[in-house]
Every structure is written in structure tokens, then in C-alpha cells.
Amino acid sequence: MNRLYTILIISVVAVALVAGCIGQTPAPALYNLTKDGIEYVFSNDIYKALDVTIYDKAFISEELMSAQRIWILFKNDTADNAYVALASSELTSKLVHYYAYTQARLVKASGVELSDLNNTVQGTLIEFRGPNTGANATSVSLSGSRILLQALNASELRLVADRLALLLFEDELKEMNITIPI
């Protein structure tokens, strides 16, 4: 009889736990953060952007934090250009504002087509690749000395750009109790 009660109690607890998990509402979408009185608006839900795989995170974060000059690199391909232009302009806006308002310094950001790249370009290099320009994953990584933002779907170029920018806001995310993938 005790065994039957134990099984019954375990079953009730299991059902209650499952029901509690099912009844939980997901976190509401989050599209903006405020740092040093400046609001940064992201094109994607921050929770979704945080799910983008990022490799060599510590090195990339340090490279962004200490950037003196930023170059956005892209391949001239009409199928990806509109998405790259939008994603890169949103990214550089966040970076330039971050440097100005948080670090009190000016950092210039410019674009250069990869075929025009030469050895005189110095600074932090951020390369965009879409599905038509050589992307083999949706991720943020290093490619040599370049930060590589790539997406298998052209519209997700904005998502990977948001993921890169979020490296600058990890302290604010932690204060908001948002889990940051390693």
C-alpha cells in the first residue's frame, strides 16, 4: 500500500511540474537596451540574437572594445547588398554611439568592397557574408584577423549584426537577469 501511495505522490508531483512548465509564459520580446542614458534599438528580439553562435567571443569582444577604426568589408553582389547595407549601417550606428557615449571617443567606420581591399586598411575589420557571397553558417566568428558575420539567409544578416553589437552590452543584460550563452 505504501508503494502505491509513493507512486501516486510521484505521479502527482510530476504532473504538477509538467503543468507548471507548460503554463509558463515565454519572456516578452526585447528590442532595446539603455546604456549611459542612450537607447539602443535592435532590429531583432535580443533573446533571438543571443542564440546566434559566436566563436572566439573573448577575442572578438576585446577587439570591439578597443577598436580605433572600423572597416566594414563586403563582396559586391546585388543579391546580398541590400541586406548587407542595412545590417552594416545598423551595426555601425550602435558601435559609433557606444564609443562616443560610453567610452567618450570618436571611432570612424567606413565600408570597403573586398576587391578594393589593400594592405593600407588598418583597424578592426568586420566582414559580412550572405547566402550569395560565401556564408556557410549563421554565426559570428573570426576569419584570420577579421570578424566574420555570416548568415545562410540574407534577412538574418541583421540578426548576426545584432549579436555582435550585444557583446558591448553584456553587463546590462546580466543586470536584467538575461542568460548569455557562453
For the ranges 24-28, 98-102, 130-134, the maximum mean pLDDT occurs at 98-102
Residue 116: what pLDDT?
85
Does residue 60 form part of some domain? Answer: yes
Look up the CATH number of the domain holding residue 152.
Answer: 3.30.379
Given a cut of 60, whether residue 7 has pLDDT beyond it is no
Does residue 74 form part of some domain? Answer: yes
Does residue 17 form part of some domain? Answer: no
Does residue 51 form part of some domain? Answer: yes
> If pLDDT is split at 50, 70 and 90, which confidence band does 154 have?
confident
Given a cut of 70, whether residue 10 has pLDDT beyond it is no
Question: Whole-angstrom Cα distance, residue 45 to residue 31?
Answer: 5
Which amino acid is it at 127?
Answer: E
CB of 107 closer than 8 Å to CB of 66: no
Our count of domains for the chain comes to: 1
Domain with 155 in it: 32-175
Model pTM score: 0.84
Q: Which of 138, 174, 173 is nearest to 33 (CA)?
A: 173
Residues 6+ apart with CB under 8 A from 90: 43, 158, 161, 162
Does residue 26 form part of some domain? Answer: no
Higher pLDDT, 123 or 2: 123
Does residue 124 form part of some domain? Answer: yes
